[in-house]
Structure 1
């Protein structure tokens, strides 16, 4: 390796960045220098699909010398990669809670501590199973979290308190109120994205009321800390993106319908008005995702489900590369309503 031209090294390292680690592992086997240099980055960005891989990785960590390893970005899916990416031989077997909890939980002995406390981003693809988040998990440096709403709404045990968490993406699956739990989880949150919000009145009312209680002016640090324990969203929020689910039943000609018919309940209209009246320009109502029939496509494993989660995975991959715009920046054509703007006025 020491005598290779820089052009050849550039090709090798470029390939190593995009092939799921195959080139990197090969290089570490043939070059002691690369092995020693890359050792600390072995587990820096990990994506695990399904119970088998989660259990296997937990077993690897049991045998690894963890003082040399740090996990910064972790993606955990409760079903196999084939299911998420739409292969015909879909395996819908869900993750067994013991493997997932064992991977994330705080060990009782310092020498058993997993390299989780340095984690910066975490994505949990876990719609229906037992709550993956609990106060047994220590994530003191976690900055960004993507999770399904049942993980916040089911509270058989207390949620962890992540004081460093600033960005939270909540994906609706079952639709239950969770704003109070979220405020406990992330009292200093600055960015919140809500995807796939259905028309169920209770969770929608919970969110709208919490948005209405956001302070009209930027809170001071001391006030923010005092208000952190109150029910509702943290007053530290700087940006809130909300995307509703829309049923094709309301209008079969979805591509040509007006913006007005996208808001079919009084609470959805209330949400639109709240966004348009937010003088601090924090709240943005996005154009809706679509569902067919009586159940959201986000729950069925159909093509729209696969596309949604493949997009979510791609956004996570770009986020681990430092591209925060993958989740938090939106194009103007994706906006339904924001302060002083309503897509219906453009038609």
Structure 2
């Protein structure tokens, strides 16, 4: 190690720190010299699981930035790959009290710090991502996966939680090319409304993946419009590749929600028919359903390590 230039060691450590922080932590514990080399590199890939860890990360990150600036180090800690997701305690907290101002403030502070440098991000927190994106620009972000849910129950009965309104999204995502939306509930807005906002904010996206699609969300109507119209008239004109991942087939033949196995079969048949008749300039692929929580972490790590991530080449480009 003593024979290698510091620049080479930084590059080696940068390549090693691609698993969300675990390797960077272990490298820092080897020795004092390893700790100093890894200090700016270990933030290359950061996985924050659980809201309680956001403020802890912010303290560590700001302390390391201040220390390295004091030492006049040439390499500053830079976050390039970010995973923000929840744990079981977060779900209980949100159901009980809703999203707090302190949580939203912490998320805003975090994204303000790392927004200028991140290249890939996976986000599944209860504060809608559109609210956060309205406050900051992400000039280098190329790949984004986010969970689209509505944390507070909504129904049309008297006294129900009103449908939220979100601030307009600025065009702060000029580098975004791959967008993956995981739909859990869309009770606040339909798929066409959601994607229209992203078509404005990220007009250069070429790859779109929508997971957990089901009937009643407006997704099939949006897809039909994409397939039937000319490119410049489509709701998202820049898109050249669409990956649809339907909802999981119901276990029982019937259930109270109406999502029976028969309806699921009809949904898949319609999607396959769309795929067969897709225009030459629009590649449409259907992926098999998957548990999104397990899928998210696995695909994010794979992408940060240089793999296909959420965009497996063999399935994405082969009809």
Does TM-score exceed 0.5, indicating one fold?
Answer: yes
Q: Give the conservation status (yes or no) of the 8 Å contact 2:143–2:179.
A: yes
- Alignment: residue pair count: 271
Q: Is the 1:119–1:139 contact (alpha carbons within 8 Å) kept by the matching residues of 2?
A: yes
Listed as ranges, the matches of 1:1-347 within 5 Å are 2=2, 19-27=22-30, 29-31=31-33, 34-65=34-65, 68-77=76-85, 79-80=86-87, 83=88, 92-94=92-94, 96-105=103-112, 114-126=113-125, 131-150=130-149, 155-161=165-171, 162-175=173-186, 176-177=190-191, 178-200=194-216, 202-213=218-229, 215=231, 232-233=235-236, 235-248=237-250, 251=253, 262-265=264-267, 270-280=270-280, 282-289=282-289, 305=291, 308-323=292-307, 325-329=308-312
Deviation (angstroms), 1:147: 0.7
Over aligned residue pairs, what C-alpha RMSD do you find? 3.8
| Structure 1 counterpart SS, 2:298 | helix
Aligned-residue offset at 1:129: 5.5
Tell whether the 8 Å contact from 1:144 to 1:167 is kept in structure 2 after alignment: yes
Unaligned runs of 5+ in 2: 4-8, 70-75, 151-162, 255-260
Deviation at 1:63, TM superposition (A): 3.3
In 2, are the aligned partners of 1:191 and 1:239 still within 8 Å (CA)?
yes
Change (3 A) 1:250 1:205: farther
CA deviations 1:269-306 (Å, max 9, x no partner) are 554333212242643342553xxxxxxxxxxxxxx75x
Structure 1 residues 42, 52: closer, same or farther in 2, change over 3 A?
same
Once residues 191 and 51 of structure 1 are traced to their aligned partners in structure 2, the CA distance between those partners, rounded to angstroms, is 30
**3-state DSSP class of the match of 1:97?**
helix
Change beyond 3 A, Cα 1:35–1:2: same
Name the CA shift for 1:90/1:197 in 2 (closer, same or farther; >3 Å). Answer: same
SS of corresponding position for 1:103: helix
SS in 2 for 1:133: helix
Deviations 1:11-38 (A, max 9, x none): xx899877443321113x421xx44443
SS in 1 for 2:242: strand
2:39·2:64 contact (CA, 8 Å) conserved in 1?
no
Q: Is the 8 A contact 1:97 1:132 kept in 2?
A: no
Distance 2:16 2:199 in 1: 42
* 1:232, distance to aligned residue in structure 2 (A): 1.3
Superposition deviation, residue 42 in structure 1: 2.7
- The match for 1:223 is none
Q: TM-score, normalised by structure 1?
A: 0.65
How far apart are the structure 2 equivalents of 1:246 and 1:318? 23
State the TM-score, normalizing by the size of structure 2: 0.70
